[in-house]
Amino acid sequence: MSIQKRIMAGAALIVIVLLGAFVAVGVAIGSGVRGASAAAVDEYGGDRVDALLAVVDSPKHSLTERNRAVWALGQLGDARALPTLERYHTGAPCDHARFICQHELDKAIRACRGSVNVSALLWR
């Protein structure tokens, strides 16, 4: 096999591996969003955005659960979440022991304002 064919075969393999990894990550993200949404809807009813917002607002939920709801809302990218997300966003450094993660809020707010979420193409 010539060197040119070996290079082309190697490049094709790299593309296939990267594409497979992208699909796997997208499927995992979709699964996580569906899981967080289903748990929230089971507890609060309504549609998944409203239920996830109820989790974010609920002091009875742990910060881990509330952060997961923020993440899921960001993945969904629904503008209805903006008022709640913005209410918790302070711009201060993260204090994961006491407050919802500011970094996750930043990402979720950007997503709900319309930033591109390429992995969502695989599961939305």
pLDDT digits (tens, 9 = 90+) for 4-41: 999 999 999 999 999 998 888 888 888 999 999 999 99
**What is the domain extent for residue 35?**
3-122
pLDDT surpasses 90 at 120: no
Q: How many domains does the chain have?
A: 1
3-state secondary structure the chain: CCHHHHHHHHHHHHHHHHHHHHHHHHHHHHHHHHHHHHHHHHHHCCCHHHHHHHHHHCCCCCHHHHHHHHHHHHHHCCHHHHHHHHHHCCCCCCCCCCCCCHHHHHHHHHHHCCCCCHHHHHCC
